[in-house]
Amino acid sequence: MGLKFSLPTVHHELLEIALLAIELGATELTNRFRQRIQIQSKGLANFVTEADLAAEKVILETLIARLPNHRFLSEESQQTQVVQAEHLWIIDPLDGTSNFMHGIPHFAISIAYYRNQSPELGLVYNPITEDLYLSIAGQGSWYGPRKQYVDTAQNLSESMICCGFYYDRGRMMQTTLETLASFFHQNIHGIRRFGAAALDLCNVGCGQYGVFFEYKLHPWDFAAGMLFVHEAGGRCTDCSGNPLPLLQPSSLCATNGQLHEEALRVIHPHWANLNASAW
Ligand code: IPD
Ligand code: CA
Ligand code: CA
């Protein structure tokens, strides 16, 4: 098929189709990236929505044409009643919308394939840097052709922490800030907020962050990245330590595994406090 990606020697029957969808979606995004001057009359939000929809359209068309019996949960055209699907794809055609909007080259397409409610394949691709993060259940996680493993840190004081802020500007934002202060009190190396949850999760899998947390994410934000973390040896739960849901929004805590309990001890009191109040 002549795809341009640099890949490890692995096999999954749907990998090539998924890569083709990613490649076509990526072209829609790169063609529009930093083009807002020419189309300013349409407004910034419309311009981003148009990029988002164009990428989603080509990704879905590519997959549906080849896999007519599969089901799809994609951010812009959400489908209901996909719970029982034997073959389910969960797609974010543009993760990191705000970065895209401001010309910051840190965003990604995220595609996950689930078989009978179990994740099998995850791809996260930044079309600007051409970074491809691939994970296959039971086989591992790769950044380009190189296999990836989580950080070996045993304590928060040896770790870089990453967080996300949901679009909320009220209690949830305030609670996230308070949680960050608590992390700083654990003498961590630092905090980063890069603005694309799918990439944040892959960076946990690659050992850059010991912990990533966010108080609300959607399945399309975390479906592929969660598999990447697991396959790299890490752990992903909600902020109470429960398994992540397949199809509902959730809080999320991803770590290298060793730091999970310590991270939840910092996060959970804030999370419980947030849930106890109306937001
Ligand atoms: C967002 C990004 C961001 C996270 C938000 C997400 P979007 O996804 O992943 O990092 O903080 O909660 O909604 O809207 O750019 O697809
Ligand atoms: Ca997203
Ligand atoms: Ca999105």
- Is the residue at 10 inside a domain? no
| Dist. CA 221 → ligand 1 center (Å) | 7
**258 located within any domain:** yes
C-alpha 73 – ligand 2 centre gap (Å): 13
Q: How far apart are CA 274 and CA 213, in angstroms?
A: 15
Angle at 85 between CA 81 and CA 88, to 5 degrees: 100
Write the CATH number for 96: 3.30.540.10
With beta carbons less than 8 A apart as the criterion, state whether 214 and 237 touch: no
Buried-exposed string 157-184: b where 16+ CB fall within 10 A, e elsewhere? eebbbbbbbbeeeeebeebbeebbeebe
Looking at the fold, whether 234 and 270 belong to one and the same domain comes out as: yes
Same domain, 56 and 79: yes
Distance 122 CA to ligand 2 centre (A): 15
Q: What are phi and psi of 10, to 5 degrees?
A: -135, 170
The domain boundary, picked from 119, 147, 175, lies at 147
What is the number of structural domains in the chain?
Answer: 2
Please tell me the pTM assigned to this model: 0.95
The verdict on 162 and 137 lying in the same domain is no
Count of CB atoms situated within 10 Å of the CB of 13: 8
**What is the residue range of 21's domain?**
15-147
Ligand 1 near 52 CB (within 6 A): no
Work out the average pLDDT over 175-203.
Answer: 97
Looking up tokens 């529009």 gives: 32
Q: Where does residue 107 rank: exposed (0-12), middle (13-18), buried (19+ CB within 10 A)?
A: buried
Q: Are residues 130 and 240 in the same domain?
A: no
pLDDT in tens, 60-101: 999 999 999 999 999 877 666 666 799 999 999 999 999 998
In a domain? residue 63: yes
Question: What pLDDT is attached to residue 212?
Answer: 98
Among the three residues 125, 147, 169, which one is the final residue of a domain in this structure?
147
Shared domain for 131 and 205, answered yes or no, is no
Output the residue whose Cα is nearest ligand 1's atom 12: 166
Q: Does 200 lie in the same domain as 76?
A: no
**Of 90, 125, 147, which residue sits at a domain end?**
147
User: Quick one: 75 and 193 in the same domain?
Assistant: no
One domain for residues 192 and 253: yes
Report d(CA 118, CA 86) in Å as an integer. 9
Range from 11-20, 32-41, 186-195 carrying the lowest mean pLDDT: 32-41
User: Considering the domain boundaries, does residue 6 fall inside one?
Assistant: no
Q: What is the pLDDT of residue 35?
A: 84
Which numbered atom of ligand 1 lies nearest the CA of 164? 11
pLDDT digits (tens, 9 = 90+) for 206-259: 999 999 999 999 999 999 999 999 999 999 999 999 999 989 999 999 999 999
C-alpha 107 – ligand 1 centre gap (Å): 10
CB 156 within 8 A of CB 183: yes
Same domain, 57 and 24: yes
Judge whether 9 lies within some domain.
no
Which residue has the least CA distance to atom 5 on ligand 1? 166
pLDDT confidence tier of residue 176, bands split at 50, 70 and 90? very high
Length of the chain: 279
The answer on pLDDT for 39 being more than 60 is: no
Residue 75 DSSP code: S
Alpha helix (H) residue ranges in the chain = 15-32, 44-66, 97-101, 171-184, 197-205, 219-231, 260-276
